[in-house]
Each structure stands twice: as structure tokens, then as C-alpha cells.
Structure 1
Amino acid sequence: MSSTRGATTDTTTLGDPERRRVVDHVRVMSLTWCGEDARLVTAAPSPAVAEQIRPFLPAREVMDYAGSRHTPGDYYSHTDDELLRYESWNECRWLRILDFDPHITYLVAQPLTIEGFDIEGTLTATPDIYAETRDGERLVIDPHVSELDMLDPKDAIRAARRARLVGATCEYLGWTYYPVETPPQPLAANTDFLADFARDIGYDPVRPTILQAAHRATTLSDLWKQLGMTLGNHPLVPSCTYHLLWTHELTFDRNERLSTQTIVRSTSDH
């Protein structure tokens, strides 16, 4: 890939190969992102840009208007203590899952705009989510692949090429690109539920007792019965338990639907 003429990508297939086989190269020409000084920066892809780029604020505004087929809104990120603007409910659910993931340390929505072209002309793409992990990995998550099946063949091809444009950019920058569909169940349902208990509303009176009681693996039902003997019918016990599941101070199998029979255990000694 040239550092002066842009990044290229190989051909690929997205979706039904009979309908939407993408047989053309796409080329990345420029990247625009908002830095920590809240100014938009536009630059051609280069090794220097790959080192310096770190999205800080959205690169574009998500519009909310009558008749839109999207459902925009704002998600409060507990990872960054920031409001993140999303464009669709599917995107919001992925933000929650990433916010819940203990390995994620940084989140930005609409992180950068990519300009490029293919044989049919100009391509512009703004991926939905940028994330960083504790290990220093940089991720781009684009929850739009499932929409290809709702488009006519021509529009689906263009959407697939925009996805390839994002993929080529991430490959050049050394980031990992995840074009995703609907979040997997029951992880999404668990995350949606626990997000309501993410904020600490004053759990200190019961937190240590719950963690001590869960030093051995136990079901939620048995845990609450045990706590009933020490704390009585304390109104904060259930919500604090769910809060500790969100903060990962209590562990459980996130890929099994949360219920009173879910087995939980404290992650540290108390």
C-alpha cells in the first residue's frame, strides 16, 4: 500500500455471492477525524498519520429528522463518562456491549470519515464505533452489515464497497475491523438488562456483604436467601447484585440468559 496515493484492498464478497459479489478495488484517499483540540483534521493515509490519529469527538453529526428510517439517540458511556451519539438501535446495543466489556477502555462514536473511490466514483464512509482495549488494540465496529439484505442490488453493492473502504483503512492503520450484524443473544439481553444498574446509587452499605457471601459460587436465588439472614429484606440487595455483575465484581456466564438460577461468584477475596 502506498503512503502517498492511498490504501488499496483486495476483492471480496459480502452477502449473497449471486447478488452482490464485489469485484472492484477501492482506494482510500483521505481521513478526517476530530482530535483532542476539538478540531477536524484531514490527511492522506501515511505512516505518520497511522501513528498520530486518535479520534476524540465525532467526525460528523448524526441528524434526527422527521421521516428518517433511523432511530438516533444518545448513549451514556460508563467507560468514558460521555454521551455517545448513535444512529440506530442496533448501534446502541453494540455500544452497551462494548461498554460492558471490561477489556474496553475507550469509546468514540462516528470516529472518522473516509474518502475514497472505486470504478464507479467517489466513496465516503463513516464507521459507527471506535474502541480501544487494555492491550492497546484499536477496533472499529460497524453494525450495518445486516442492512444489506434490505437494499436493492445496486445499493447493496455500494454499501458493500463502503464497508471495504473502511476495512482497507483499518488494515492500513493497523486497526481491527468488525462489520457486525444484530448482537448475539442472550449476551445482548443480559447487557440491556444490567445497563439499568450500571450507575452506583449508594451501594456501600450492602456491597461488602454481598461480595463476601458470594466468595463461593452460588445461584442468585441462594445468594439472596443467604443475605436475607444477615441483611434482612434490604431493598438495595437485588439492584446492588446486578450492579456488581455489570462492574464484573461478580462473575457469571454472560452467554447464558440471566435468571435467579444463574451462578455467580465474587472475583476478589473479601
Structure 2
Amino acid sequence: MVAGGATEPPAEKFEVGYIDLDGAEFRRPLEEVRAVRFENAMPVRAFKSYKGQRHLPGLWWSSTANGHIGYESWLERDHLMLLDFDPMVVRMSAQPFWLFWASEQGKVVSHAPDFFARREDGTAIVIDCRPVDRRRPRDWVKFEATQAACHRTGWEFRLVGAPDEIVLGNVRWLSGYRHPRHHVDPVASQLREVFSEPRALLNGAMLVGDPIAVLPVVFHLLWLHALVVDVSVPLHAASLISPGVA
């Protein structure tokens, strides 16, 4: 259970409302949507901008999805970026569905999780983003209900707050090179060969050519995990780069 001191998850059955890629709207019992590809679903609510709002919504261009995915806050953007960087994630969507249920008092309650992600092994993750200091009792009720629904469907549920600052900073830097335009051959092939054995970042880049031209390709390959580096420590010229999996 998500710890929050809220009431127990609802006793009534869950229903799920969603919109497919053709714009058709559905509302079905939870038990009937296990096979729905929510990673391809359209957002169930708009990402609105208005004067004076506290959050800053926007669109993130995802190299994984090869398209834009919406977010409602910078915290959501950061976690969307981390999903995009995750080599196990093959597709994701924002505001993928409405979850409906009845409270113990019989009142209909609804909640739209922030993201749905599909891994390459077919497993799924449902994600809610909320800073720790902004999780109110009524939010915990919805988070716990969502976790209960995910448990019934075999989906993983994550309630996330602020990411690790060093990891976030490294991934944010690499994300600037996520676009395929940074995959330049034969430089990319030469870098794979140079880093076939672990080597310092800048030293390896200089073996291929002018670092100004080569480093963007290095960072692109790191984004793709074709080369790998420990992102839990600050990225720098002497960072050890190793061969990756792609």
C-alpha cells in the first residue's frame, strides 16, 4: 500500500474511461481493459494554459514515441524525460485514462494518472507525480485506489516526487542530444569501436576527431544506451564510458 493514512481502497468495482487513437471514447469495467494499449491512448483531458496558473504545462518531444507527449508541470516533464531515457520503456502516454469508483459513502470518485508506460517485456507502469509536501489526504485516497486498481490488472504503480538531482541533471543534458539528427556516421561507428573498452569520455572523443563535432554524437549514443555511463555521478570529461546494449 501507498502510505498516507487515507481510508481503505473502494469496495465498489472500478471502471476505466479512455480515448483511442481514432478519438472513440470508452468506459468499461477494469477487468475488461487489461489488453488495452493505453500507451497509445489519447489524453483524457487537455493540457491547459492560463494566466496565473501555478504549473507550467507543455509538450515533450519523445525519442521513444517519436512524437510529442504532454505534461502539466515541470515535475511531470522531468519524469517524462526519465521515462524517455529508460531503455526498457518502448512507449508511453500522458493522462491515459480516467479511473472511476464509488467511495464507501456511495459517491463517484475519479482520477486520471499522469502517465502510462509499456516496457519491452510487455509489463506496464502507471505513474502519478506529486511532490511529497503536496500530498493531501484526499490525494492519498486517489493514489491508494489507483494502486489497488493497478494491482488487480498486474500493472506496476509508482507515486513519484522530485528525482535525484544529479541523475536529473545528467539526463537533462543528454536529452539535448536525443534527436536522430545527432546520429552522424561514420562518427557513431567509430565511437562504438573506440569505446568497445571503457575509456574516459573526452579522451575517447579526441581519438575520433574534433571534440566539437564528436561530442554531440557521444551524447546521442549515451542517450540511446549504445554507450553507457554512470548517471548517478556528475558527467564530466573524465567520466568512464563503456560499450552499451544497443
User: Is TM (by shorter chain) over 0.5?
Assistant: yes
Larger radius of gyration: 1
Superposed CA offset, 1:209-235 (max 9, x none): 2221112111112213333xxx3x363
Task: Provide closer, same or farther for how the CA distance between residues 268 and 195 of structure 1 changes in structure 2, counting only shifts above 3 A.
Answer: closer
1:107 aligns with 2:84: no
Q: CA deviation at 1:79?
A: 0.7
One of 208, 216, 225 as aligned partner of 1:239:
216
- Aligned-pair distance for 1:197? 0.5
Structure 1 unpaired stretches of 5+: 1-10, 15-20
Q: Which residue, 149, 161, 184 being the options, matches 2:141?
A: 161
Q: CA deviation at 1:45?
A: 2.2
8 Å CA contact 2:2, 2:143 repeated in 1: no
Contact 1:215 1:265 in 2 (8 A): yes
Instruction: State the Cα distance separating 1:67 from its structure 2 match.
Output: 1.7
* CA shift for structure 1 position 63: 1.4
- For 1:211, the equivalent position in structure 2 comes to 192
Structure 1 residue 84: Cα displacement? 0.6
**In 1, Cα distance between the equivalents of 2:245 and 2:88?**
17
| Counterpart mapping for 1:137-152 below 5 A | 137-146=123-132, 149-150=133-134
**Deviation of 1:236 (Å):** 1.8
Q: How does 1:5-44 map to 2 (within 5 A)?
A: 13-14=3-4, 21-26=5-10, 27-44=12-29
- Quick one: structure 1 residues 160 and 145, their matched pair in 2 at CA, closer, same or farther if it must change by over 3 Å? farther
Equivalent residue, structure 2, for 1:220? 201
Displacement, 1:178?
A: 0.5
Deviation at 1:28, TM superposition (A): 4.6
- Alignment correspondent of 1:127: 113
Q: Deviations over 1:85-115 (max 9, x none)?
A: 1001010011111101111001101000111
CA separation in 1, counterparts of 2:7 and 2:233? 40
Question: What residue number does 1:249 align with?
Answer: 226
- Paired AA for residue 244 in structure 1: L
Instruction: Identify the match of residue 201 of structure 1 among 166, 173, 181.
Output: 181
Q: Distance in 2 between matches of 1:102 and 1:246?
A: 9
Q: Relative to structure 1, is the Cα distance of residues 176 and 268 closer, same or farther in structure 2, using a 3 angstrom cutoff?
A: closer
Distance 2:211 2:238 in 1: 20
Task: Provide the C-alpha distance between the structure 2 equivalents of 1:197 and 1:97, rounded to a whole number of angstroms.
Answer: 14
Q: Give the partner amino acid of 2:171.
A: T
- Evaluate the alpha carbon distance shift between residue 117 and residue 106 of structure 1 in structure 2; reply closer, same or farther with a 3 A threshold: same
Contact in 2 for aligned 1:206/1:236 (Cα 8 Å):
no
Residue 173 (structure 1) aligns with: 153
Say if 2:32 is the partner of 1:51: no
What displacement does 1:145 show?
A: 4.9
Letter in 2 for 1:224: A
Deviation at 1:184, TM superposition (A): 1.9
Greater Cα shift, 203-212 or 93-102: 203-212
- Partner Cα distance (2:245, 2:76) in 1: 33
Structure 1 pair 215–64 and aligned structure 2 pair: CA distance change class (3 A): same
Aligned to 2:70: 85
1:24-43 Cα shifts (integer Å, max 9, x gaps) = 43245321011233211111
